[in-house]
Chain A
Amino acid sequence: MTAPLLDIRDLRISFQARDGSWADALCGIDLSLEPGKVLGIVGESGSGKSIAMMAFLQLLPRGTRVQGSAKFKGQELIGMPASRIQRIRGKAIGCIFQDPLSAFNPVKTLGQQVVEAIRLHDRSISKRAALKEAERLFELVAIPQPERRVRQYPHEFSGGMRQRAMIAMALANKPDLLIADEPTTALDVTVQAQILDLLGDLRAELGIGMVLITHDLGVVAGIADEIAVMYGGSVVERGPTDPIFYETSHPYTAGLIGAVPTLDGTGALKQIEGTPPSIFSRPDGCAFHPRCGRAGDACRVQTPRLEPHGGTACACHFPLTTLREPVPS
């Protein structure tokens, strides 16, 4: 067994409310990722999926309390001094964000921004050489006419091309880990598929480990090796991709799968009734129980812990026992 690329233990993030009390946005989660593998983190807005990643990169606003441990290649990132984490950010860990228009600086050319990413970590590379490298990266992510495109501004790119440029920039320093935070959410469905294909290809070619954060199970289905489903600041189900889909244990995961449209399209899409809880008024017991059809007395009192069930690990007092036949592909 290889050492994990990323190993998160009991990561807990709290924000301070106006009245001074602390509310947990993340209630102590465990996640790990082997080198070269893809971990999909799935959940609704507010489930804590993005801030978990932003926390160990120290990209959260000041005044956020982060506890627990997040080791990257054995180095503890939580509490690492700014000067050291700066050398990891953008070097060994690359990031892709949701909206590539606002994520780029509007008054600098994309070439300048990629050049900056390269030269922040290696001053010895000349600007000219870095720009050549930016062109090569644009070519790698299949941006046509790279030598012309590097001289353009973000607003001159289409959404899909911008996200490709974002990926190119994240790859600039050959990272071991790529964190993609909702990389396809702002894009059309067809462009979305192209970007996912691109990420899949890059992973195969470059052997980069990836964390793919999304609210859409369909996005991770084809690319992730493992999936963690998050709800209300906790991981409620975790496991290899196939068992998550075919041996679903948690009612919430089942609800998410039920909400994914299928090609044979029989019957109406099912929705999960209700809305996710605010971090300031999370219910006692299992955070999902007010929306769960299977909830019993124990769910209202006792928070379930992740325990092996079927092919996955599941945090539920009354897990499902399902076995769907894999669709032959």
Chain B
Amino acid sequence: MLAYIVRRLIAIPFLLLGVASVSFVLSQMTKGDPLAALVPERMMSNPEIVNAVKAQWGLDQPLPVRYVTYIGNLLQGDLGTSFTTRRPVSTDIAERLPATLELVIAAMIIGTALGLTLGLLSARFRGSATDGISRIFALIGSSLPIFWSGLILLYIFSVRFSIVPGTGRLPPRVTPPPDVTGFYTIDALLAGDLSLFGQALAHLALPAFVLGWAVTGIITRIVRSSLIEGLSQDYARTARAKGAPERTVLIGHALPNAMIPLLTILGFTFAYLITGAVLTEAIFAWPGIGSYAVRAAASLDYPAIGGVTIVGSVAFLLANLLTDIAYAWANPRIKVH
């Protein structure tokens, strides 16, 4: 098992190199001018300035040279400097990634808890009103676009009834907790500041719910259908023949088997949300990696695009690895070599 994990980890840098190369070529091939982000518009007509800026950022070099330079820097852990923020891409990402992770992890917890509960209720009371309501709630979550559900919930809970604060990670002019994990909730707890923790949690609640609700749909569906399939299997009949009540058949027998497909979905969804939570981040002014990615792409900020791509790839590779490990744990028929 350990040897397997090490082997998989060793492969990651090589895979990333491939990803970085593809991302580099693709973004260079995109029509558009990164200079727009670098040179103020009124100076665009001045060739001297334009050329100086090009030379400064290395944009005057031919493509192969730029590629070699980029990859060479990457190998030394240098992601380059963002055209738009004029700061190292790694600094930008280090600042924004924890915000996204905090949001996505909270959303995954909410989505999994809701999805499991609704899936279990649906399967247990299949065909009943409970089943119908659970499925409709899940369906709404996955079909409503986040820019709509996010705005409506923000209006209802924040503007109309002031149950939760507005956007952002903390109220304006509140100092974030000392940086340990980058998760404001956890850092506030570590600093022993309960009121700050409350504020961070209140800010996190609504965006996490919106994003969690969106993934509830798929989780509910997977859980429900796997459970219903499990309930009709021979092992469920055996459990009933042993005298197990239907609740035990569901939770003790069908659920452990449903974990196998569920894990696949969870791993994939988590990785997807790392760079895919853009809309939620935009609506709730959440300073995460998704909004950074959008701005980088819009202004052809090559280094930032590359950086975000690599973060997304790492998220996918690690999530895949974790899923496989969890798989071996949930399914004794799988042996890892």
Contacts and interface: CB of A to CB of B under 8 A. Distances in A.
B240 interface: yes
Interface string B227-249: 00000111101111111111010
B332 A107 contact: yes
B102 to A, nearest CB: 33
A89 B234 contact: no
Given A103-B234, A104-B235, A106-B257, A90 B241 contact: yes
Q: Which of A59, A61, A109 has the most CB of B within 10 A?
A: A59
A200 B333 CA distance: 33
B235 A117 contact: no
Contacts of B242: 89-90, 116-117, 120, 169
Interface stretch (A80-88, A221-229, A242-250): A80-88
A49 to B, nearest CB: 16
Interface string B296-334: 000000000000000000000000000000000011110
Contacts of B252: 116
Given A107-B257, A108-B256, A116 B237 contact: no
B237 A103 contact: yes
Interface in A89-134: 89-91, 94-95, 97, 99, 102-109, 116-117, 120-121
B240 A102 contact: no
B46 to A, nearest CB: 70
Nearest to A172: B242
Contacts of A88: 243
A86 B234 contact: no
18 contacts: A59-B237, A59-B241, A86-B243, A88-B243, A90-B241, A97-B238, A102-B234, A103-B235, A105-B238, A105-B257, A106-B332, A106-B333, A107-B256, A107-B330, A107-B331, A116-B239, A116-B244, A155-B333
Q: Which of A82, A103, A121 has the most CB of B within 10 A?
A: A103
A120 B252 CA distance: 12
A96 B259 CA distance: 27
B54 interface: no
Interface of A: 57, 59, 61, 82-83, 86-91, 94-95, 97, 99, 102-109, 116-117, 120-121, 153, 155, 169
B contact residues, range: 20 to 34
Interface in B257-271: 257, 259-260
A120 B241 CA distance: 11
A59 to B, nearest CB: 6
B333 A95 contact: no
A103 B253 CA distance: 12
A90 B237 contact: no
Contacts, number: 76
Q: Is the interface of B mostly helix, strand, loop or mixed?
A: helix
A50 to B, nearest CB: 11
Given A106-B257, A107-B330, A91 B235 contact: no
A225 to B, nearest CB: 24
Nearest to B230: A105
Contacts of A155: 332-333
A82 B245 contact: yes
A82 B245 CA distance: 8
A97 B234 CA distance: 9
A209 B240 CA distance: 21
Given A116-B252, A120-B248, A87 B238 contact: no
Nearest to A179: B241
Given A102-B234, A105-B253, A89 B332 contact: no
A61 B248 CA distance: 17
Contacts of B233: 102
B244 A103 contact: no
A61 B240 CA distance: 12
B332 A120 contact: no
Contacts of A99: 234
B228 to A, nearest CB: 12
B235 A105 contact: yes
Given A102-B234, A103-B234, A105-B257, A95 B241 contact: yes
Interface in B141-186: none
A56 B330 CA distance: 35
Nearest to B241: A95
Contact of B238 (A61, A82, A86, A103): A103
Which 3 pairs between the two chains have the least Cβ-Cβ distance? A90-B243, A90-B242, A95-B241
A105 B256 contact: yes
A86 B243 CA distance: 4
